[in-house]
């Protein structure tokens, strides 16, 4: 059985096969373009076969080299992940990456992290926001824990409920006074704020309140980002429907008020999620146990 090819030529080939450009590969590996060319030549000599071809000034892999490169990409990705995991396990400090919804991270999770950091000073928490259509993807994203909204049943994930829907209408005290908002019926036809992704929130709230008027959503404005909805509510631009958990501080400090009931409760909520049936790093388990034990 032949031994493995020399490592440096393999590194050069793996980078060059991703970029199909020796200059970019050299930049990644912090060497010269000539060094990449030399290492590729060494590997071609080792195999006795060409790895690249030039067609119309474009570098292309030979068919056999392309298949070999795909295997190398996966192998080097495994090595990078194993190296990061080992480094974290022997390092005094480690980083925990959490992906979730922007307003949830800023209004609900971030205020809790000071207490976590006091108890676990060796764990640095990095927050990543879900944006647009992106989801929590453990296979293709560098994240340790995610927070997802729904019923808590996702294939390949274990989930733990953080809090269920408790949606309330909120606005400034001045707006509530000027619009004379005292009952749920008073909100029908008023300037209402929501996000595109939560288009059922206001209809569900009115249904919960027992109101069905054709004009109740006539002045509904919808936005991409929940943070914008929250900001517009604080600026007095309309009445937002938001998770009560997000606006507790605003209510305490008088920036927002709940002009009337009811509270909309549904069998939906925000869940801490992790890959199921895979070993968990100690930092993941420490954070999960701490957060679930300190829910309030």
How far, rounded to the nearest angstrom, does the alpha carbon of residue 176 sit from its chain's CA centroid? 35
What local confidence, expressed as pLDDT, does residue 142 receive? 83
Which CATH number applies to 92-296? 3.40.190.290
- Output the six-digit token pair for 265: 């409760």
Sign of CA dihedral 177, 179, 183, 184: negative
pTM for the model:
0.66
What local confidence, expressed as pLDDT, does residue 104 receive? 94
Rounded to whole angstroms, the Cα distance separating 113 from 216 reads 40
Same fold, 7-90 and 92-296: no
| pLDDT single digits (tens) 107-138 | 999 999 999 999 999 899 999 988 655 577 78
What CATH class is the domain 7-90?
mainly alpha
Flag residues of the chain having pLDDT under 50.
Answer: 1
| pLDDT single digits (tens) 33-48 | 999 999 999 999 999 9
What local confidence, expressed as pLDDT, does residue 44 receive? 94
Domain ranges of the chain: 7-90, 92-296
What local confidence, expressed as pLDDT, does residue 262 receive? 96
What local confidence, expressed as pLDDT, does residue 1 receive? 41
What local confidence, expressed as pLDDT, does residue 213 receive? 87
Rounded to whole angstroms, the Cα distance separating 16 from 31 reads 12
């Amino acid at each position: 059985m032949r031994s493995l090819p020399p490592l440096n030529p393999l590194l050069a080939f793996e980078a060059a096969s991703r970029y199909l450009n020796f200059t970019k590969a050299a930049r990644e590996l912090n060497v010269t373009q000539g060094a990449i060319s030399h290492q590729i030549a060494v590997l071609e000599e080792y195999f006795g076969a060409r790895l690249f071809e030039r067609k119309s000034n474009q570098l292309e892999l030979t068919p056999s080299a392309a298949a070999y490169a795909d295997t190398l990409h996966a192998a080097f990705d495994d090595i990078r992940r194993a190296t990061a995991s080992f480094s974290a396990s022997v390092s005094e400090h480690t980083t925990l990456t959490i992906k979730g919804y922007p307003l949830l991270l800023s209004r609900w999770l971030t205020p809790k992290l000071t207490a976590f950091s006091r108890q676990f000073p060796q764990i640095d928490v990095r927050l990543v926001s879900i944006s647009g259509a992106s989801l929590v993807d453990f296979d293709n994203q560098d994240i340790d824990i995610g927070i997802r909204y729904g019923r808590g049943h996702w294939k390949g994930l274990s989930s733990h409920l953080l809090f269920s829907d408790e949606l309330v209408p909120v606005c400034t005290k001045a707006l509530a006074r000027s619009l004379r908002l005292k009952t749920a019926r008073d909100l029908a036809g008023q300037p209402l704020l929501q996000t595109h992704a939560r288009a059922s929130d206001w209809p569900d709230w009115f249904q919960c309140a027992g109101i069905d008027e054709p004009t109740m959503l006539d002045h509904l404005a919808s936005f991409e980002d929940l943070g914008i909805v929250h900001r517009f509510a604080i600026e007095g631009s309309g009445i937002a429907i938001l998770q009560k958990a997000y606006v507790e501080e605003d209510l305490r400090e008088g920036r927002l008020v709940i002009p009337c009931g009811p509270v909309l409760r549904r069998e939906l909520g925000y869940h801490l999620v992790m890959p199921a049936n895979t070993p968990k790093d100690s930092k993941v388990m420490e954070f999960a146990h701490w957060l679930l034990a300190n829910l309030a």
